[in-house]
Chains A and B, each alone.
Chain A
Amino acid sequence: MSQWTPFSAARAGRALCTTCGMLGRPVETAHCRRCGTRLHFRKTDSIQRSWALLLAAYALYLPANLLPITETRSIFGVQRDTILSGVVYLWSDGSWAIAGVVFIASIVVPLLKLFSLTLLVLSVQRRWRWQPLPRARLYRFLELIGRWSMLDVFVVAILVTLVQARSLAAVEPGSGILAFAAVVVLSMLATQAFDPRLIWEPLDAPVNTAPSRENRP
C-alpha cells in the first residue's frame, strides 16, 4: 500500500469541470474556460458541509419519527399516525411483509444511511487508511438508495390528494412527514456534499510522510 503512489489530477494542478467535463487548471483560471463553471480540486468545504447537513438530518430524525405523518379525519374520528404506529398497525394486522418493508425502508434505511455517512465523513476527516474500497462502495450504494426513502413522502402526498371525501374522510399531512422529507433531503444533500475522492487522499501520501502534510511537495 505504502508503495502505491497514484497519479492524481489535483497533484498535477488540474481539475475537471463538474459541468462540462473539460480539464482545467484552477490555479491559473478559477473558472472553466469553456463553460465558466468555477473549478475546484475538491468539493468545496466537503467535510464541513457534510457534517452540517448530517447534524441537521440527525436533529430532524427525531420529530420525523415522533410526530404524526398523516392525520386521518373521518366519521370515525381523527386518527394520527406516526411511521412507527403505521408499522405496528400493519404488523398487528397480519401484513408482516409490508410491515417489514415499511419498517426497513422508512426507519432502518434512513438511520443506516445517516450512520454510514457519519462513518465516511469521520473516516475522511481523520484521514483513515482503513478499507478504502468498501468505503467507496458504501458511498456509491448510499447515493443509489438515497432517493428511495422519499417513497414515504410520495405515499403520503398521494394519499392526501386521493382521500379527500370532504366530511366522510380526509387525510392531511402531519408535520412529521415534513421532518421526514427534510431528513431524506438533507441526507441526500450530505451525500452529495461528501467528496468520495477524499477517501483516497490519505492513501496518496506515502505512509512515512503522511503526518507532515504541509511539507508535501
Chain B
Amino acid sequence: MTSDTPRSPTPPPTVRAVRHARSPLSWIWLVPAVAVLLTLGLTIHALMQRGPQITLQFSSAEGLEAKKTKLKYKDVEIGTVSDIALSDDRRSVKVTVAMQKQAEPLLVDDSRFWVVRPRIGTGGVSGLGTLLSGAYLAIDPGRSPQPRHTFIGLDKPPVVVNDMPGRQFLLSARDLGSLDIGVPVYFRRIPVGRVVGYALQQDGHGVEVRIFVDAPYDRFVNAGTRFWHADGLNVALDAEGLKLQMQSLVSVAVGGIAFANPDKDSDGADAPAQATPETRFELYTDRTEALRQPDSVVETYRLTFDESVRGLAIGAPVDFRGLTVGEVSRINFDYRRGADSIVMNAEIKLYPERFLRRWRNRATASSQLANTRAVVDDLVAKGLRAQLRTGNLLTGQRYVALDFFPKARAARVDWQQPVPRLPTQPGSLDSLQEQLQTLMDGLQKTLGQADQLIATADRTLLPELTATLKSARDTLQRADGVLASDAPTQQELRNTLREVGRAAGAVRNLADMLERQPEALITGKKAPQ
C-alpha cells in the first residue's frame, strides 16, 4: 500500500477490471440453462413415459423377477415388473407391473396376460428364447373400449391372439375325444386353424369346443358347414362293417377337427347363409355322420320284440330296403306283473325326409310329409313291419329292418300313445332259430323218452333175460349130453340104426327073392340048388 499511494490518482485497477468483466448476463449462463433444460426435459419425458400401474394375478410367479421381468407386446418392452407379492388370501401371486404411457390403450377389459416360458406342446416348441433370457410377460390386447388395470393372468399362452385375422366358431360335441387346445383344424386336409378352448356345457350334457379358423379360410365356414373329429385313426365296426379312416400323421398323434361343406343337392338347395359368431355347430364323431343330410323332422316309434335284442345297439341303423332311414335311440324292456312275457322295447328315430327326399315328386312329398300318419297307416296296412335282422354274421350286429310282409297279421298303429308303436315281425333268422329250437326240443324229448325206456328195460328185462339164458344154457348142456358120440343114447341109436339097416337088408333080400320067386309067398322058399 505504501509504495502504491503516489499513483493513486488512477482508479484502483482491481475495481475497474472487475467492473469491466461484469456484464448483466454472461454467456456462461447458457451452460446451466442448457443443463437444466436437458434435465427438465428428461424428467418430463420420464414422467410422460410413465404409464399406469397394473396388477396381474398368477397362480405362480415362476420365472418372474421384480424390477427385471419385462412385459412385452410384439417383443417390444412396454412395462417392467415392479413388485411381486402374495395375494391377500395367499392363493395366488400378485404381480405389479409399471407400464409405459404408450401401453395405456392396450390395457382394456378383455386384454389377456400370460407368462412366456419355454413350452413343448402339440403345436411345437415355443418360447425357446426365454430359456436364456428368463421368462417375460406377454399381453394380448383386447378390443373393448373399457379400460382396466387389474387382470387375472392366464396359465397357458392363448392359442389365438386378438390381432390374428380369422374367426372363432363354437362347436358342441358329445365328448372331447382326443382334442386339446392347439390341435389343428383341417379343411380339405389343409391345416387352417386350431382349437382354442373347450369347456363343459353348463348342464354337463356335452362339451363346447371353441376353434379359430385363420383368415382366408374362415369364409369357407358357413351355416351349413359340418365339423367332425378327425381323430387320426378311426376304426368303426358296426352293422355296416369295418370302417377305417385316417386324416394325417399329425392328427394321428394329436387328433384334430376337420370340416367340409356338404355337396349341394342335385336339385340345388339355396346356398347356405354365412356363419355368424352365434352360430353353433355340431361336432360329429366322424365324416360319414357329419356329411349326412340333416334331419329336421324326427319321428319316434316304439318297437316291441318278443325275441332277444342281443346285438342291437343304440345307434344301430333302421334300414328300409337298404336305405338308412333312422336309428335306434333307446332299448329297454317292459315287464308287467301278470303279463305272461317280458317284451323288449326299442325306440327308433325315423327321419321321414329321407324317404321323401328320394321321391320324384317333391310337391306331393311335402304334402305327404305333413300327413305322415296317414302315410304310415297306409304302409302298415300294406304290410310294413319292423324286423330285427343280423347285419353282420361275424359280429352278430343287428339292425332294424322295415319291410313289407304281405302275409303278416293285420295290425294298426295306435296314435293315442305318446310314442306310437309300429308292428313288428319276428326276425327271419330268428324264426329259423326258433324252428330249430323246437326241433331240438322235440329231439331232446324223444331222446329223453328213449333214455327212460332203456332205463326201464334195464331194470325189469335184464334179470329175466339172465334167468332165461341160464335155463337155455342148461337145456343146451343137456342136449349136448344127449348128442355126444359116446353117450348111451347115441350108442343105442347107432345100434338101433344098425338093426334097422340089417332089417332093411333083410327086407331087400326078401324083396329080391320075391321078385325072382314070387311063388315063394305061397310055396315057400325053395332050397338052394
Contact = CB atoms under 8 A, between A and B. Distances in A.
Contacts of B10: 27
Given A52-B26, A76-B133, A217-B1, A60 B38 contact: yes
A216 B36 contact: no
Interface residues of B, number: 35
For the residues of B in contact with A, the DSSP-based class is: helix
A56 B35 contact: yes
Contacts of A45: 21-22, 26, 28
A77 interface: yes
B42 A217 contact: no
Given A52-B26, A77-B134, A217-B4, A41 B17 contact: yes
Given A42-B17, A217-B5, A217-B8, A63 B32 contact: no
Contacts of A62: 39, 43
Given A55-B32, A55-B36, A76-B132, A41 B26 contact: no
B134 A76 contact: yes
Contacts of A78: 77
B321 interface: no
B13 interface: yes
Interface hub of B21, B32, B35, B36 (most chain A Cβ within 10 A): B35
Contacts of A216: 12, 15
Interface in B25-44: 26, 28-29, 31-32, 34-36, 38-39, 42-43
A63 B43 CA distance: 8
A91 to B, nearest CB: 16
Nearest to A12: B4
Contact of A27 (B3, B13, B21): B13
A24 B133 CA distance: 68
Contact of A11 (B1, B38, B42, B134): B1
Interface string A30-58: 00000000001110110011001111110
B31 A10 contact: no
B467 to A, nearest CB: 116
Contact of A63 (B18, B21, B38): B38
A146 interface: no
Given A41-B18, A45-B22, A52-B29, 15 more contacts: A11-B1, A13-B13, A26-B17, A27-B10, A42-B18, A45-B28, A48-B26, A49-B26, A56-B34, A59-B36, A63-B38, A66-B46, A75-B133, A76-B132, A214-B15
Interface of B: 1, 3-5, 7-8, 10, 12-18, 21-22, 26, 28-29, 31-32, 34-36, 38-39, 42-43, 46, 70, 77, 132-134, 136
